[in-house]
């Protein structure tokens, strides 16, 4: 509107810790792929958002987190993950808020763990970008994992031997697509994710970052937005 004064907002440079939810995919990849080590620098370590670390350590994961400072009120640090033999665990209602966005990764880790894992109190996953309980049930079954879907969670019977291959539906959900890519990197023969474009919602450079760590990935123009990850 002409004639009105215009005020400009001025601010100093703002440093933001790395997003733990994005880093978590590479941490789990390191746990599941043989002879792997991944180091994440400057990751956000807010304890209200890093519940996945405690759950994975309970499963026997070789994970170290080292605080290195803070950006304002947010702690940050270095997280190191190495290949690990995992055992089953349970995640219940009290833990769910601290890893709500990482629960699909917990379910993928549970699929490679020795024993039976239980997730409960997570009905909120049905109201995300997709019904993530339904989507993860379908993904794990496609990989040959035995699961029982519940109204607020899932039971996963792990197979430490892993899976050979698969073709998964990501339901246009960026987190399910990235879980599928990690499943492909950890597979024997590769996994086809039907929609990789949806990943750009939260992590536009995800496929390139995964490839830079040694996981082969190939875009398949004949499959629309598909992405094949793994051997």
As annotated, the active-site residues are: 101
CA angle 209, 20, 178 (to 5 degrees): 45
Q: Is 63 helix (H, G, I), strand (E, B) or coil?
A: strand
Residues 6+ apart with CB under 8 A from 40: 18, 23, 26, 27, 78, 79, 80, 81
Residues 6+ apart with CB under 8 A from 68: 42, 76, 77, 78
Q: What is the DSSP string of 36-55?
A: -EEEEEEEE--TTT-HHHHH
Question: Do 157 and 147 touch, CB atoms closer than 8 A?
Answer: yes
Q: How many Cβ atoms are within 10 Å of 101's Cβ, its own excluded? A: 18
Q: Is 114 helix (H, G, I), strand (E, B) or coil?
A: strand
């Amino acid at each position: 509107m002409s004639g009105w004064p215009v005020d400009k907002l001025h601010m100093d440079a703002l440093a933001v810790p790395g997003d733990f939810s994005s880093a978590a995919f590479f941490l789990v990849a390191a746990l599941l792929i043989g002879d792997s080590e991944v180091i994440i620098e400057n990751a956000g370590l807010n304890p209200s958002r890093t519940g996945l670390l405690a759950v994975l350590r309970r499963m026997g994961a070789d994970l170290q987190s080292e605080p290195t400072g803070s950006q304002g009120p947010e702690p940050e640090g270095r997280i190191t993950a190495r290949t690990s033999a995992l055992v089953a665990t349970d995640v219940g209602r009290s833990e769910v808020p601290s890893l709500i966005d990482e629960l699909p990764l917990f379910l993928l880790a549970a699929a490679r763990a020795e024993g039976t894992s239980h997730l409960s109190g997570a009905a909120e996953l049905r109201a995300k970008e997709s019904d993530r309980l339904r989507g993860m049930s379908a993904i794990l079954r496609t990989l040959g994992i035995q699961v029982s879907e519940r109204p607020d969670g899932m039971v996963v019977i792990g197979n430490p031997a892993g899976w050979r291959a698969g073709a998964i539906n990501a339901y246009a959900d960026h987190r399910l697509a990235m879980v599928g890519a990690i499943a492909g990197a950890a597979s024997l023969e590769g996994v086809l994710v039907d929609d990789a474009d949806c990943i750009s919602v939260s992590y536009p450079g995800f496929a390139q970052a995964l490839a830079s760590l040694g996981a082969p990935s190939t875009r398949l123009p004949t499959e629309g937005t598909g992405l094949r990850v793994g051997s």
